[in-house]
Amino acid sequence: MPCEARYASLSQQKHGAAMSTNPDLLRGSLEPIVLEVIAGGATYGYEIAKAIGEASHGKLLAQEGTLYPALHRLEKKGWLAADWDVSPEGRKRKHYRLTPLGKKQRAALRAEWTEFSRMVNGVLGMERVVVGWVS
Protein backbone atom coordinates (compact mmCIF):
# COMPACT_ATOMS: atom_id res chain seq x y z
CA MET A 1 0.00 0.00 0.00
CA PRO A 2 1.53 3.30 -1.05
CA CYS A 3 2.04 5.70 1.77
CA GLU A 4 -0.11 8.39 0.19
CA ALA A 5 -3.05 5.96 0.20
CA ARG A 6 -2.48 4.87 3.72
CA TYR A 7 -2.25 8.45 4.86
CA ALA A 8 -5.35 9.38 2.97
CA SER A 9 -7.34 6.71 4.75
CA LEU A 10 -5.85 7.67 8.03
CA SER A 11 -6.71 11.26 7.48
CA GLN A 12 -10.20 10.46 6.55
CA GLN A 13 -10.61 8.39 9.68
CA LYS A 14 -9.26 11.05 11.99
CA HIS A 15 -10.74 14.24 10.67
CA GLY A 16 -13.56 13.29 8.39
CA ALA A 17 -13.74 16.76 6.83
CA ALA A 18 -11.23 19.42 5.91
CA MET A 19 -10.35 21.88 8.66
CA SER A 20 -7.46 24.09 9.61
CA THR A 21 -5.07 22.89 12.33
CA ASN A 22 -4.14 24.99 15.33
CA PRO A 23 -0.35 25.33 15.26
CA ASP A 24 -0.27 24.84 19.05
CA LEU A 25 -1.86 21.44 18.57
CA LEU A 26 0.54 20.60 15.72
CA ARG A 27 3.60 21.56 17.78
CA GLY A 28 4.83 18.45 19.53
CA SER A 29 2.83 16.05 17.37
CA LEU A 30 4.73 16.54 14.09
CA GLU A 31 7.68 14.39 15.07
CA PRO A 32 5.55 11.26 15.75
CA ILE A 33 3.77 11.84 12.47
CA VAL A 34 7.06 12.10 10.62
CA LEU A 35 8.29 8.90 12.22
CA GLU A 36 5.08 7.22 11.21
CA VAL A 37 5.26 8.50 7.62
CA ILE A 38 8.88 7.38 7.25
CA ALA A 39 7.97 4.04 8.70
CA GLY A 40 5.26 3.95 6.03
CA GLY A 41 7.87 4.17 3.24
CA ALA A 42 8.56 7.83 2.53
CA THR A 43 12.29 8.53 2.52
CA TYR A 44 13.08 12.10 1.35
CA GLY A 45 11.69 15.48 2.27
CA TYR A 46 9.30 16.25 -0.54
CA GLU A 47 7.92 12.74 -0.39
CA ILE A 48 7.39 12.92 3.35
CA ALA A 49 5.77 16.32 3.12
CA LYS A 50 3.53 15.19 0.34
CA ALA A 51 2.45 12.13 2.35
CA ILE A 52 1.60 14.19 5.41
CA GLY A 53 -0.22 16.72 3.28
CA GLU A 54 -2.25 14.18 1.56
CA ALA A 55 -3.08 12.32 4.74
CA SER A 56 -4.17 15.52 6.49
CA HIS A 57 -5.64 17.22 3.46
CA GLY A 58 -2.97 19.74 3.69
CA LYS A 59 -3.91 20.77 7.22
CA LEU A 60 -0.93 19.47 9.20
CA LEU A 61 1.67 21.17 7.05
CA ALA A 62 0.37 24.53 6.08
CA GLN A 63 3.90 25.21 4.95
CA GLU A 64 6.00 22.30 3.86
CA GLY A 65 9.20 23.88 5.03
CA THR A 66 8.25 23.30 8.67
CA LEU A 67 8.91 19.58 8.02
CA TYR A 68 12.63 19.99 7.74
CA PRO A 69 13.34 21.25 11.24
CA ALA A 70 11.47 18.19 12.54
CA LEU A 71 13.50 15.91 10.30
CA HIS A 72 16.77 17.41 11.45
CA ARG A 73 15.75 17.29 15.13
CA LEU A 74 14.96 13.56 14.76
CA GLU A 75 18.21 13.03 12.94
CA LYS A 76 20.02 14.90 15.64
CA LYS A 77 18.36 12.74 18.29
CA GLY A 78 19.50 9.66 16.48
CA TRP A 79 16.03 8.43 15.75
CA LEU A 80 16.56 8.92 12.00
CA ALA A 81 19.53 8.28 9.81
CA ALA A 82 20.10 9.85 6.42
CA ASP A 83 21.90 8.95 3.26
CA TRP A 84 22.54 10.98 0.21
CA ASP A 85 21.58 9.76 -3.18
CA VAL A 86 20.82 11.19 -6.59
CA SER A 87 17.29 11.69 -7.81
CA PRO A 88 16.13 10.54 -11.23
CA GLU A 89 16.39 14.12 -12.30
CA GLY A 90 20.01 14.10 -11.23
CA ARG A 91 19.66 16.21 -8.03
CA LYS A 92 21.23 15.35 -4.71
CA ARG A 93 18.60 13.88 -2.47
CA LYS A 94 18.68 13.05 1.15
CA HIS A 95 16.92 9.88 2.21
CA TYR A 96 15.82 9.27 5.77
CA ARG A 97 15.25 5.98 7.55
CA LEU A 98 14.35 4.92 11.01
CA THR A 99 17.16 3.87 13.20
CA PRO A 100 16.58 1.14 15.79
CA LEU A 101 16.27 3.84 18.35
CA GLY A 102 13.78 5.61 16.13
CA LYS A 103 11.75 2.51 15.83
CA LYS A 104 11.57 2.13 19.60
CA GLN A 105 10.63 5.75 20.00
CA ARG A 106 7.96 5.42 17.34
CA ALA A 107 6.31 2.56 19.28
CA ALA A 108 6.53 4.49 22.52
CA LEU A 109 5.13 7.60 20.96
CA ARG A 110 2.25 5.69 19.49
CA ALA A 111 1.36 4.27 22.89
CA GLU A 112 1.61 7.72 24.50
CA TRP A 113 -0.46 9.26 21.76
CA THR A 114 -3.14 6.59 22.01
CA GLU A 115 -3.41 7.07 25.71
CA PHE A 116 -3.28 10.87 25.40
CA SER A 117 -5.91 10.97 22.69
CA ARG A 118 -8.15 8.68 24.69
CA MET A 119 -7.90 11.00 27.66
CA VAL A 120 -8.55 14.06 25.55
CA ASN A 121 -11.44 12.37 23.77
CA GLY A 122 -12.84 11.33 27.12
CA VAL A 123 -12.71 14.85 28.34
CA LEU A 124 -14.19 16.14 25.14
CA GLY A 125 -16.95 13.43 25.01
CA MET A 126 -15.52 11.74 22.00
CA GLU A 127 -14.94 8.37 23.64
CA ARG A 128 -16.72 6.63 20.87
CA VAL A 129 -14.43 7.94 18.20
CA VAL A 130 -11.92 5.27 17.45
CA VAL A 131 -8.55 6.48 16.46
CA GLY A 132 -6.70 3.68 14.90
CA TRP A 133 -3.22 3.58 13.46
CA VAL A 134 -2.39 1.55 10.54
CA SER A 135 0.53 -0.60 11.42
Partner 1 sequence: MKDESIPLPPGNPAQSRDEIAAEIADHLAAAEAELTKRGSTTDEARETARKKFGDVEKIKQTCYWIQNGETIMLRWTLVSLAAVLCILLGLSVLGNWRTQSQLADEMGKLSSELKALAAAKQTSPPAPQPPEITGVIYAGSKDKPVAGARVAILGKDGTVVRRTACDEKGIYRSGPLEAGDYFMTSPIQNAPAPYSKLITQSQPIFLHSASGSVPFDLDAAYHAGGLKLNVSRNLPMVRKEGKYLISSRLSVWALRSRQRNQPWTAKEKSPEAWPIYCHPDFSIHPPGNESRWGVKLEGISPAFHALRLQAGEDRAFFDRSSGESATMILPPGDTDIEATLLLSIVPLDERGEIVVPRATYNRFRSMMPDVRDELPVRDTAEGNTRTVPASVFDDESNYVWMQLSGGRSWASKIKGFSEYDGMHVVPPGLPQQRATVKDGQFTRIVFEIPEGIEEEVERAIESTPEIEGFDTLIQSGFFRRPITFRVVGYEPMEK
List the one residue from 15, 57, 59, 73 that touches partner 1 (CB under 8 A).
73
Residues 76-135 within binding reach of partner 1 (CB under 8 A): 76, 84, 87, 89, 91-94
Q: Which residue type occupies 20?
A: S
Distance of CA 46 to the CA centre of its chain: 13
> Which is nearer to partner 1, 88 or 125 (by Cβ)?
88
* Region binding partner 1 by CB under 8 A among candidate stretches 19-27, 45-53, 107-115, 117-125: 45-53
Q: How far apart are CA 113 and CA 62, in angstroms?
A: 22
42: which residues sit within 8 A by CB, 6+ positions away? 3, 48, 50, 51
By the rule CB under 8 A, 46 interacts with partner 1:
yes
Tally DSSP H helices, then E strands, for the chain: 6, 2
9 near partner 1, rule: CB under 8 A: no
* Contact positions vs partner 1 (CB under 8 A): 44-47, 49, 63-66, 68-69, 72-73, 75-76, 84, 87, 89, 91-94
